Amino acid sequence: MRRVAQVVAVRPELLDAYRELHRAVPEPVLDRIRRSHISNYSIHLLGDRLFSYFEYHGDDLAADLAAMAGDEATQRWWKLTAPCQVPVPEAAPGEWWATAEQVFLME
């Protein structure tokens, strides 16, 4: 299992809209996430930063994320959520959600 933590900024003027969207994530989007071997997925907010955490149980994260990106329901969902977000300065070129380095783990 691989733990993944990521960060993206949220546009303050769209924060309420972002919260509202996540009160009813479409089931096909959740299903695609599950089929991509992702579990324990959560998003947290602090100030204008969104922090996501998930556990990946597959063998090829890049391929599973590409399958998500190719999914029509997910694409429709991202058209709703993307305008609420902006990459953080720490994001690599072309990276939307910046991946955070794990510096501590207690199991």
pLDDT tens digits, one per residue of 32-58 = 999 999 999 999 999 999 999 999 999
Two tokens at 3? 């733990």
Q: How far apart are CA 102 and CA 107, in angstroms?
A: 13
Taking only the tens place, the pLDDT of each residue in 47-96 is 999 999 999 999 999 999 999 999 999 999 999 999 999 999 999 999 99
Evaluate if pTM is beyond 0.75: yes
Is there a domain that residue 86 lies in? yes
Total structural domains in the chain? 1
CA distances from residue 98 to 19, 49, 101, 106 in whole angstroms, order as listed: 20, 11, 10, 23
How large is the C-alpha radius of gyration of the chain?
A: 14
Taking only the tens place, the pLDDT of each residue in 13-32 is 999 999 999 999 999 999 99
Is there a domain that residue 105 lies in? no
H helical segments located in 2-86: 15-21, 27-35, 61-70, 72-81
Two tokens at 29? 């989007």
Expressed as residue numbers, the domain containing 45 is: 2-99
Give the three-state DSSP class for 79: helix
Two tokens at 65? 């994320």
Is there a domain that residue 73 lies in? yes
